[in-house]
Amino acid sequence: MLTVAVLISGAGSNLRALLEAANEPDYPARIVVVGADREADGLAHAEAFGIPWFFVPYAEYPDREAWGEALRDQLAVWQPDLIVLSGLMRLLPASVLEPWAPRIINTHPAYLPEFPGAHGVRDAIAAGTTQTGASVIVVDAGVDTGPILAQERIAVLPGDDEESLHERIKPVERRLLIDVVRRIATGDLDLSSP
């Protein structure tokens, strides 16, 4: 059974979908802990599913490295096989990347390498593109630059705003994420040579 830590910053709707999937008896992965960089609303989903959770408040550390070391120490307690970034709006420092890479994956609300970064949906709208997408990638030291594990196109409709487009992207992200974690767990997908 693959053990998974999920890291969030916000509402955690994709986390909730993964918690629901992992609750199914035939799903080959289990979420062992949920962490956040702030007192995120989405931590309530972990609580509801009886999963341990923690937060390491970014604002309370002098820099990203110090925060990363505290996050690494929390994760080390649980020794997850895989770390899933599900709306974590922070770059992970080397202190977290080194022990786990390439076993860290991220969901992103755009068709990478298009529109990387913190505002993938807003940037797609601003660019006036007619299609964007959803991606699941391996995390490396760059901003959404790691190998792509799964992605799907989603149309930008006339009249879409950031919220309406994001709400259409999220269900696709959830499906891709649940499938990627399943494929990693079954050995169908090898993160060292994706």
Q: Give the footprint of ligand GAR on this chain (CB under 6 A).
A: 8, 10-15, 42, 86-87, 89, 107-109, 118, 120, 170, 173
Cβ–Cβ < 8 Å for 83, 75: yes
* Least distance CB 135 / ligand GAR (angstroms): 9
Reply yes or no on whether 119 is catalytic. no
Determine which one of 45, 108, 119, 166 is catalytic.
108
Here the contacts of 118-126 (C-beta below 8 Å, separation 24 or greater) are 118/89, 120/144, 121/162, 121/165, 121/166, 121/169, 122/162, 124/156, 124/165, 125/156, 125/160, 125/161, 125/162, 125/165
List all residues 6 or more positions away from 39 whose beta carbon is below 8 Å from its beta carbon. Answer: 55, 57
Q: Which is nearer to ligand GAR, 4 or 62 (CB)?
A: 4
Q: Which residue is nearest to ligand GAR (CB)?
A: 87
The residue (of 75 and 110) whose beta carbon lies closer to ligand GAR is: 110
**Nearest in space to 6 (alpha carbons), one of 194, 177, 149:** 177
Smallest distance from the beta carbon of 152 to ligand GAR, in angstroms? 13
Least CB distance from residue 59 to ligand GAR, whole Å? 19
For ligand GAR, the closer of residues 9 and 80 by Cβ is 9
Residue numbers annotated as active site:
108
